[in-house]
Each structure stands twice: as structure tokens, then as C-alpha cells.
Amino acid sequence: MNTAKEIRQKFLDFFESKGHTVVPSAPMVVKNDPTLMFTNAGMNQFKDIFLGNTTPKSKRATDSQKCLRVSGKHNDLEAVGHDGRHHTMFEMLGNWSFGDYFKEEAITWAWELLTEVYKIDKTKLYATVFEGSAEDGTQMDSEALEAWKKHLPEDHIIMGNKHDNFWEMGDTGPCGPSSEIHIDLRSDEEIAKVPGRDMVNTDNDQVIEIWNLVFMQFNRKADGSLEPLPAKNIDTGMGFERLCMVLQGKTSNYDTDVFSGMIKQIEKLSGHSYHENAKTEVAMRVIADHIRAIAFSIADGQLPSNVKAGYVIRRILRRAVRYGYTFLPLLAGAPAY
């Protein structure tokens, strides 16, 4: 079994072999951008490059970015613990092109990494392509469609609307059409009953998006209009925890080695079993997720407090405590520490 550490390193090594510079994760708490409180996507640290305000040190980059999604447009807080794939803090594996390569290479390399390096079954994979938007005056992404036809049969390529296949960091800023890669983890019997293409983007825990290839072409202005960016860029993001679930043969991110050690410790401290009942499962997932988010936040310099970003971190901490006291009351004989 690939460990989480090995999975992350294979991603970085692969893109380094394709001429990308490995860059460190930016801090999770944003201090120099009034439009963002937390890093919520891998592209945040490259925002000024996409806008043409800064010259990149390298035209190709790759990283594993710590992200926090608990407020604003991208907010997963209430879903955490109730399914196996959402988190407050997560890692986003990404590769970036700043005016260098574009859709053809991004799609080809994504396919190569997933199927040749990670050895994922090609028949389980689906790709979505932006169908265009009359509202924005944008066309169907024929370039991405033609690139995917070289790797996937047409019944594994699905048209997606603006909601699913046009990525935006916020109400303003760099944005563009995207092409998502989904995987069907259901049994052969279930797949025979309902094909995977009918399950994509239906919020099914076993037919999930694992990688989003964003083709940064536009800047969304304050009046809602789109203007072309100075250069066409690539911004991809693959959910590290979901990838670990796929490659480790699990049905939940919380069953991977990213979280299993914490959950075992929570079992020990509470005297409860993870699979004791549905409520203990949710509670332990919430606590494991939130502890991880809080620890990385503190490591990045943001302590829980009463104001701004610190208040959000405090809120996450209080939520973890509430789930513990409500659903994991200390049992007689359990360690009292």
C-alpha cells in the first residue's frame, strides 16, 4: 500500500520530471490580501502572477498546498464528518503553468500520472468539460474536449455547466473553464445497474471528483464582466486525501493513514469505538479533522482568538469540543486525560 507520504512525493516527483519547480506550501492564513482570510485553493499564492502583476521565478511550478475552507464561497464546514470526503483543512496537490503550456499538456500529464504512475483503472475514470455560458458569453471548451478524446471514450466525457466547470476563487479575480476528473469506486454490480457517467456530480460518496484542471483565461471584474488575462495559465488541484483513499483502497478519507492514527488515539482517550454507532463515527471524524486544521493553523502562526481569522479557528476548536462532549462522553475505565 502506498503511504500518504509516498503518494504526495510521487506527485511532486512526477511534475518535477516535467520541468516544474517544487515550491513550498504558502501559509494557511492569508496576511497580505484583503479579499481572503484563509488560503482556500492552491492558486492563492500565485494570484498576482495570474493577474500579470508579478513575474514568476519559473514558468512551471508544483506544490502541495494546505487549504482551509470554512467561510465564504468555498465552505465545507457543515459537511465535515457527515461524509467521508469533506474537510475543513485539506492538502491540494497542484501543477501550474504561467503562460507556458496549456490544456493539451495539462490533460495529457494528468492522464499519465493517474494511469501510468498511480496505476488507476482507466475504465473507472470520467472527465467533465465546460459546455459554455450564455450569461458570460463563453463558448463550449472544444480544446479540452478534443484533448480528452485522445484518452477517454466519448461516453466517459461529460459536459458540465458554469456551476460545475467554471472555477472562480471568489466574486472577483482570476478564473476560467475547468475540466474535472472523477472516479467511480463502486462495485462492478452497482456499475452494471447505473453507469458511472450518470452518477458524476450527484453527491455520491463513491463517485467523486479527484482532480480539477482549471484553465485560467479570464479575470472577473467587480461589475461581473470577464476580461482576458495577460497570459493563459494552468491551475490544477487534486484532493490529496481523496487520492489517498483511492490508492489505499478505502471507502472514506478517514480510513486512510492521514487520519487513522488520530482516530485510534481518540478511541483510546474517549473509551469509545469508532464504529460503535453512527454518532461516534461522525464525532470522531469531526474531531480528527478539526484537530488537524487547528494544529496546522497554529503552526502557520494563527492562534485561536476572539477576532477575525483567530475567531474562525476558535470556532473550529469549539465545534470539536462540542462533538466530543455530546457524542463521546468519557466511559468508566477510559483514561482521564
- Tens of pLDDT, residue by residue over 28-52, are 988 777 777 888 878 888 888 877 7
* Surface-to-core class of residue 140, CB atoms within 10 Å of its CB (0-12 exposed, 13-18 middle, 19+ buried): middle
State residue 332's pLDDT score: 56
pLDDT at 315 over 70: yes
pLDDT at 295 over 60: yes
For the stretch 1-30, pLDDT in tens is 689 999 999 999 999 999 999 999 999 988
State residue 252's pLDDT score: 93
Q: What is the mean pLDDT of residues 59-74?
A: 84
State residue 50's pLDDT score: 77
| Cell matching residue 93 | 496537490
pLDDT at 287 over 70: yes
8 A C-beta contact, residue 226 and residue 216: no
State residue 248's pLDDT score: 97
Q: What is the mean pLDDT of residues 310-331?
A: 91
Annotate the chain with three-state secondary structure.
CCCHHHHHHHHHHHHHHCCCEECCCCCCECCCCCCCCECCCHHHHHHHHHCCCCCCCCCEEEEEEEEECECCCCECHHHECCECCCCCEEEEEEEEEECCCCHHHHHHHHHHHHHHHCCCCHHHEEEEEECCECCCCECCCHHHHHHHHCCCCHHHEEEECHHHHEEECCCCEEEEEEEEEEEECCCHHHHHHCCHHHCCCCCCCCEEEEEEEEEEEEEECCCCCEEEEEEEEEEEEEEHHHHHHHHCCCCCHHHCCCCHHHHHHHHHHHCCCCCCCHHHHHHHHHHHHHHHHHHHHHHCCCCCCCCHHHHHHHHHHHHHHHHHHHHCCCCCCCCCC
Between residues 33 and 297, the one the model is more confident about: 297
Categorize the per-residue pLDDT at 244 as very low, low, confident or very high, splitting at 50, 70 and 90: very high
| Cell matching residue 56 | 514568476
pTM for this model (two decimals) = 0.91
Using only C-alpha atoms, the chain has a radius of gyration, in whole angstroms, of: 20
State residue 321's pLDDT score: 94
Is beta strand 21-22 parallel, antiparallel or unpaired with respect to 207-220? unpaired
State residue 333's pLDDT score: 62
pLDDT at 337 over 60: no
CA angle 112/113/116 to nearest 5° reads 65
**What's the chain's average pLDDT?**
91
* Surface-to-core class of residue 190, CB atoms within 10 Å of its CB (0-12 exposed, 13-18 middle, 19+ buried): middle
* Surface-to-core class of residue 34, CB atoms within 10 Å of its CB (0-12 exposed, 13-18 middle, 19+ buried): exposed
State residue 150's pLDDT score: 97
For the chain, the straight-line distance linking the first and the last C-alpha, in angstroms and rounded, comes to 33
For the stretch 161-188, pLDDT in tens is 999 999 886 788 888 999 999 999 999 9
Spatial distance between the Cα atoms of 128 and 150, rounded to a whole number of angstroms: 14
| Cell matching residue 19 | 520541468
Categorize the per-residue pLDDT at 119 as very low, low, confident or very high, splitting at 50, 70 and 90: very high
State residue 75's pLDDT score: 60
Spatial distance between the Cα atoms of 38 and 30, rounded to a whole number of angstroms: 5
8 A C-beta contact, residue 39 and residue 90: no
